[in-house]
A and B are shown apart, each in its own frame.
Chain A
Amino acid sequence: MDKYYMMLGILLVFIGICGIIIRKNLITMLVATEIMLNGANVSLVAVSHFLGKVDSQVMSIIILTVAASEVAIGLGLIVSIFRLRGYEASEEITELRD
């Protein structure tokens, strides 16, 4: 049973990567990042269920926390970029300075 959850977790991670590669809009790219993180969490919890210890759940909590803060920062960055450039497509933001 846990094997299958692990496989699910791996699949979710790859779906997330796929999402990053595909999307052009920065916001939706971040969403795909979240999908990746969640996939990792699933894998970790599956491991914890298998081992019978809660240690990997601790790691999962921390990942959760960090994911939240990362979202905050990321979106703040996107807002700044938008304010600066007026657009937020990854195609057009290719150079560090004009």
Chain B
Amino acid sequence: MEFLAFGTISIVAIISAFMAIFVKSPIHVMVWFLVFILSVASSFFALGADLLAGLQLVIYAVAIVVFYVLVITTIPWEKVKMFEGFYLKELIMALPAFLFTIGSAFYLTFNAKLSNMRVPLPKDNVSALGTVLFTKYIAPFELASFILLIAMIGAIIFGKEKANG
């Protein structure tokens, strides 16, 4: 049963990722990207990380994709050439590296002996996560909020019109 879930999720993820990077128009890219997000979220569900899945959906599928689409619409695509082709040369040059790395990583992962350390996850994921987050990892949590604040300020500054100075 698990394998089935895993198989579906992985196939969808890989295909959507490939399509996301190979299609021409940016909007098509965004569509495939959305599919990709959903598949990743479902993989989180399959692995028992409920909160993460929810967060993933909210942040990515809602905020980030919308943001991308917004920016894509600000570009006057009639003045700018929409697609100019791929850097195929680099891809071909990189393929051996990819193959080598992926091959070795798969080999290593496959041959790793993990079975004797298996412990089941707590059932209530949200409360467990919340407990850990607010006790052990309070510092990174606060820093993350700080980063968000800075990013917000930065985004506002970027967004200003030049005339306002």
Contact = CB atoms under 8 A, between A and B. Distances in A.
Interface of A: 1-8, 10-12, 14-19, 21-25, 27-28, 30-32, 34-35, 38, 41-42, 45-46, 48-55, 57-58, 60-62, 64-73, 75-80, 82-83, 86-89, 91
A73 B68 CA distance: 12
Contacts of A67: 59, 64
Interface string B12-56: 011001101110001001100100110010011001110110011
Contacts of A68: 59, 63-64, 148, 151
Contacts, number: 228
Top 3 closest A-B pairs, CB basis? A52-B119, A76-B158, A69-B151
Instruction: Summarize B's interface: helix, strand, loop or mixed.
Output: helix
Contacts of A15: 14, 17-18, 21
Nearest to B125: A54
Interface residues of B, number: 86
23 contacts: A6-B109, A8-B14, A10-B106, A14-B101, A15-B18, A22-B87, A22-B88, A24-B84, A34-B33, A35-B20, A41-B52, A42-B44, A51-B119, A52-B121, A58-B132, A60-B52, A62-B141, A64-B56, A65-B144, A71-B64, A75-B67, A75-B68, A89-B81
